[in-house]
Amino acid sequence: MKHNFGAGPGILPQEVLKQAAEAVIDFNGTGLSLLEISHRSKEFEAVLDEAVQLVKELFSVPEGYSVLFLQGGASTQFALAPYNLLPSGGKAAYLETGVWANKALKEAKYFGEVEVIASSKESNFTYIPKDYTIPADAAYFHITSNNTIYGTQLQEFPKSPIPVVCDMSSDIFSRKVNVADFGLIYAGAQKNMGPAGVTLVIVKDDILGKVDRKIPAMFNYQTQIEGGSMYNTPPCFAIYVSMLTLRWLKAKGGVAAIEQENITKANALYNAIESNPFFKGVCAVEDRSHMNVCFVMENPELEKPFLKLCDERGIVGVKGHRSVGGFRASIYNALPLSSVLALIDVMQEFADSNK
């Protein structure tokens, strides 16, 4: 058995993988593969409709918001958010908490002024800045809820006088969120919702249509809303697998239930790191992520032997990002507690054999 701690594309529920595999051969008894049916068919329209409704139900999306399934990944949203929301000559505020936040603010500079109101770059992004003021004259305030590379996470979202735009790519549906506190939420599916190829966007309708530039149809949120995420052929398979994952999440008890599971998994692993003299955490305790647990060896020379033992025990995907090294255990929704306990056992085994 493999225990998949990969950071992304991340683990998916086994039952979802089985259903998706069956649909590739014969989708819902149609005699056709999901990969070859028309996106305009009643069969696929039912998939998209269910996916949208599940998002609204699981996240309690209020009236006045639209749910979109788009292509291009979250990196495309780095540009589409300011393209649609930042007026020419206007200003946007950004919180810089990691690589992806940095990439997002760089894209925004093509459309207007960017004010970085706080950053933890000087500490290699090991904490989330707390003491900052959100400028009321900015068009929006952009944050990244979870930082996969550095293992930090916003445990509380800021109260803002302007629309909040949030990249939730790596912790979407992992905890309860008050959607009404945000103007725009976007998330690449491949870390916690589905396969790569589709991006979820939840946008408040009344923040759109206020910029003075012409926006090409494919990049215009309003066009995509009017087309029901089908202005062009959507990524049908990725949407279908995401729908199955959302269906699986609902059956487990929804976001509130999975949040408690995620807290249990994270606490178990952080406690193991703290109690094992061979390992240590790298982030501020109050900002530690419940999705991406980053840690290092007290003795860096033991990193390779530990990774070798992990491989022998079926623990995969724990090597840290190439830019920071060490280890990273991504414990997304679909990863069971048993896998976390298996990693903890290997950590203890390694410590016992290297005393």
Q: How far is CA 182 from CA 57, 69, 98, 161, in A?
A: 17, 18, 20, 11
CA distance 244 to 230: 19
- Rounded to 5 degrees, φ, ψ at 143 are -135, 160
- The one-letter amino acid at 10: G
Q: Which residues in 211-239 are b (16+ Cβ under 10 Å) and which e?
A: beeebeeeebbeebbeebbebeebbbbbb
- Do the Cβ atoms of 144 and 166 come closer than 8 Å? yes
Residue given tokens 């905890």 in the structure block:
175
CB count within 10 Å of CB 242 equals 26
Among 266, 302, 301, 295, which Cα is nearest to 279's?
295
Beta bridge partners of 167: 144, 186
Active site residues: 100, 167, 191
Instruction: Write out the E strands in the chain.
Output: 3-4, 65-70, 91-96, 113-119, 141-144, 146-147, 152-153, 164-167, 184-188, 199-204, 279-281, 292-297, 315-316, 327-330
Among 92, 111, 261, which Cα is nearest to 183's?
92
CA distance 19 to 24: 9
CA distance 122 to 133: 19
